[in-house]
Structure 1
């Protein structure tokens, strides 16, 4: 897919999510932060004051119509292209990626960002190392053995879905060495990594230190796999 085709498809997706969202402001904020664009930069691109963007995102201003949404989306994409188009190219890679169900057990994008604590509570996870970010906008549940043995580094990166602003949940984990070592060679890293199937006492002793070095939150959960997947499908 060409960057131009990816841009068109991404524009349609973003506009559709904002338009159909029960909280358009929160969805707009989610996409703006995913693009790592400040309210000030977006406002400058649109030639409006920062307070206009803030009012839309907070709900203080009436939800924007489709014409305004289109302008906002195009502004986000224009800024990304001016920065080199990395976000658009990432989306193109996601569209072309395909995974077997025995590798990826669930992959979802949320309409809004949610606190990482809410994610952990949903799956009965215990945080063992705090990261640099406190929210996520999606998750990927992956069989750690299949992913590490069968995926290339490029394919591994595609597990991030549409954004690294997410949690990677690794199943079939014994102590956590392999996922944590894999995180060291794949950049950028996700906001959070969850190791499923073990307790804090079972965890590889060096895992928390590696997570802190790379800046992501690390947690463990021993919740039944199917119950965990059911809980994740209820998010956000």
Structure 2
């Protein structure tokens, strides 16, 4: 029987928690990635919120495989009840041939949207205006994992079906690495968003590189789960 995206994601989450040196912290990471509160998860598991809190903090012995499986299925059930956004993100990333620790989301839109609308959805501030003012898709990328693990050919596949898109780089400190990487990958996207930094934190040469290559450059400090939710509300 074929393994669907839900099962593949369940296996990934359960494996990470079970093999982690700090299972409670890994459980907490996935719970927050799914934007599920301790109370909501506890209600779904029919336990008190203190049980979830104790496991996440390490006050209780590491959760067994049975409890981990219940937690994973609960997170996926809650996601499906909300429309299945996280499961679909995982499926899109896998279908593009990437690991989900490198690419958080990759999506094509049915029609182009104004870049201003895209920035509003992720609370981004444009630093440099580019040559195009629309996007037709996005890719959300862990900058460190992508730069250290992807070949130039694989890096190009981050564009998905079109370069008429925004590339969002997470795990950014100042922006040097992703913007230097953009210089050796052609063609360039319509927009590059640096996640986790403000304009004051931005590498001083970043605006000049964006102007040279003609793409819009923006920054956002929105939490990653909220950013993914904002992108999920786009058409």
TM-score (norm 2): 0.59
In 2, the alpha carbon distance for the partners of 1:143 and 1:230 equals: 17
Q: For 1:230, what is the secondary structure of its paired residue? A: helix
Q: For 2:158, what is the secondary structure of its paired residue? A: helix
1:158 CA drift (Å) = 0.2
In 1, the alpha carbon distance for the partners of 2:163 and 2:224 equals: 23
Aligned to 1:180: 179
For 1:98-127, what per-residue CA distance to the aligned partner results, in whole angstroms no more than 9, with x for missing partners?
100000000000001000000001100000
CA contact (8 A) 1:97 1:155 kept: no
Alignment map for 1:217-228 (pairs within 5 Å)? 217-228=216-227
**Structure 2 unmatched ranges of 5 or more:** 1-92
Aligned to 2:203: 204
1:97 CA drift (Å) = 4.7
Q: Indicate yes or no: 2:215 matched with 1:216.
A: yes
In 1, the alpha carbon distance for the partners of 2:159 and 2:198 equals: 25
Q: How many residues align?
A: 143
For 1:53-83, what per-residue CA distance to the aligned partner results, in whole angstroms no more than 9, with x for missing partners?
xxxxxxxxxxxxxxxxxxxxxxxxxxxxxxx
Q: Indicate yes or no: 2:129 matched with 1:142.
A: no
More divergent stretch after superposition (126-135 vs 94-103): 94-103
CA contact (8 A) 1:123 1:232 kept: yes
Q: For 2:203, what is the secondary structure of its paired residue? A: coil
Alignment map for 1:15-164 (pairs within 5 Å)? 97-164=96-163
Aligned to 1:66: none
State the Cα RMSD in Å.
1.5
Aligned to 2:81: none
After TM superposition, which residue ranges in structure 1, 4 or more long, deviate above 6 angstroms? none
For 1:187-214, what per-residue CA distance to the aligned partner results, in whole angstroms no more than 9, with x for missing partners?
0000000000000000000000000000
In 2, the alpha carbon distance for the partners of 1:234 and 1:161 equals: 19
